[in-house]
Amino acid sequence: SLRTLASARGLLLGGAISGELFNADNPDEAATINREYNAVVAENAMKMRAIANSPDPDNYLFATADAMVASAQKNGQTVRGHTLIWHDSAPAWVYEIQEKTAMRAAMTQYITTVVKHFGNRINIWDVVNEAISDGPGNPLRNNNPFAVAGPDFIALAFRMAHAANPAARLCYNDYSVEGLNGKSNAMYALVKGLLADGVPIHGVGFQSHLDTNFSVRDSGMQANLQRFRDLGLDVQLTEVDVQMVGSGSEKEKLARQAQVYGELLSTCLAVKCSAFMMWGVSDLTSWRAGGKPLIFDGDYVKKPAYGALIKVLQTA
Ligand code: G3I
């Protein structure tokens, strides 16, 4: 299985689990996860809108997330925590906070409560997710409610998470940063600045929501990942999926998808990455199921991309 081969090299390999499916006890989903993954991440259950969505900021809902963690522990799987501070998952009450001190207090309380709740059951966190905009020059997003806390809101989040669990590896996570490009340059400058300021950041997550037109080589992905490794940071591919796009027969697209998956994993291993996480399990339940982006098809049958990952783990 993937997990046996990955564990033998100390690599976390796994994927996102959906709370709905988990609760529905879909036997194929659960069997596949437990057979193939040595690491899991909640697709939604640990987001702020899942944990703290009630109008009362003091009301925390941990039931779904706790059930997933318990299952992971039972099955010997590491859990990645995703994600503490993300503009896209901020509940309505966060938007009502307009004052700097109050926002700092709210962030501190939320991060401290959640990180301490899971304690050593979760020792890797995506502390801040997708703070960099896609616009010209890639500044930080201007629609981020947490920015009310001040220009150092990212540093604050990492400091609070570290105080709550000093053993945890703390990551910044973003998309469209896999290759050498303007956004990955902005992310590099951001994390370099955080390190220079003594902020406890230990890793970077490269989401890797890609498609079959993506060229690992032409994008400069290995050089990009390596420059983050050279800062002493963990590098993790955190949300890998590769949509099947373009012309050609289904067979050709599956082959191209397998090639991209294989190259992503071998590039990850080449820079001594610490995790290769996919965003889901099968094409049945992917957040972009139309693109059939995962390594198991809608019937949980292994696709050529699965074989490509096995081959890389056996040879690279
Ligand atoms: O839970 C409600 C349910 O009660 C309701 O009936 C249903 C009706 O639409 O919505 C459910 O919530 C949805 C949730 O997924 C669970 O299915 C939300 O509307 C929907 O917005 C949410 O989408 C998730 C999205 O993040 C936003 O949080 C996707 O499943 C999830 O795959 C996606 O994951 C993100 C990563 O966290 C960050 N990187 C990008 C990635 C893909 O967008």
Taking Cα atoms as reference points, which of 227, 231, 256, 277 lies closest to residue 39? Answer: 277
Per-residue model confidence (pLDDT) at position 54:
86
Cα separation, 30 vs 182, whole angstroms: 39
Mean pLDDT over residues 56-65, rounded?
Answer: 92
- 192's enclosing H/E stretch is helix 182-196
pLDDT digits (tens, 9 = 90+) for 90-120: 999 999 999 999 999 999 999 999 999 999 9
Q: Is position 232 within any domain?
A: no
Query: How far, in Å, from the CA of 252 to the mean position of ligand 1?
Result: 31
Q: Which residue range is the domain that position 150 belongs to?
A: 2-226
What residues are in contact with ligand 1 under a 6 Å CB criterion? Answer: 43-44, 47, 89, 129, 175, 207, 239, 287
Per-residue model confidence (pLDDT) at position 57:
81
Per-residue model confidence (pLDDT) at position 173:
99
The answer to whether 96 is a known catalytic residue is no
Query: How far, in Å, from the CA of 217 to the mean position of ligand 1?
Result: 31
Query: How far, in Å, from the CA of 44 to the mean position of ligand 1?
Result: 6
Instruction: Indicate whether 58 pLDDT > 90.
Output: no
Q: Is position 268 within any domain?
A: no
The pTM of this model reads 0.97
Question: Which protein residue has the closest C-alpha to ligand 1 atom 29?
Answer: 287
- C-alpha pair distances (Å), 176 with each of 138, 207, 280, 288: 11, 8, 18, 16
Q: Is position 43 within any domain?
A: yes
Per-residue model confidence (pLDDT) at position 26:
80
Other Cβ atoms closer than 10 A to 182: 15
Mean pLDDT over residues 204-208, rounded?
Answer: 99
CATH of the domain at 80: 3.20.20.80
Mean pLDDT over residues 197-210, rounded?
Answer: 99
* HSE-up of residue 32 (Cα within 13 Å, Cβ side): 26
Instruction: Indicate whether 129 pLDDT > 90.
Output: yes
Per-residue model confidence (pLDDT) at position 20:
64
Question: Which protein residue has the closest C-alpha to ligand 1 atom 13?
Answer: 44
Per-residue model confidence (pLDDT) at position 23:
59
Total count of domains within the chain? 1
Query: How far, in Å, from the CA of 202 to the mean position of ligand 1?
Result: 27
The answer to whether 239 is a known catalytic residue is yes
Q: Is position 269 within any domain?
A: no
Options 29, 43, 178, 239, the catalytic residue: 239
Options 130, 178, 250, 263, the catalytic residue: 130
Q: Is position 178 within any domain?
A: yes
Q: Is position 254 within any domain?
A: no
pLDDT digits (tens, 9 = 90+) for 161-196: 999 999 999 999 999 999 999 999 999 999 999 999
pLDDT digits (tens, 9 = 90+) for 280-313: 999 998 999 999 999 999 999 999 999 999 999 9
pLDDT digits (tens, 9 = 90+) for 229-280: 999 999 999 999 999 999 999 999 999 999 999 999 999 999 999 999 999 9
Taking Cα atoms as reference points, which of 40, 131, 34 lies closest to residue 84? Answer: 131
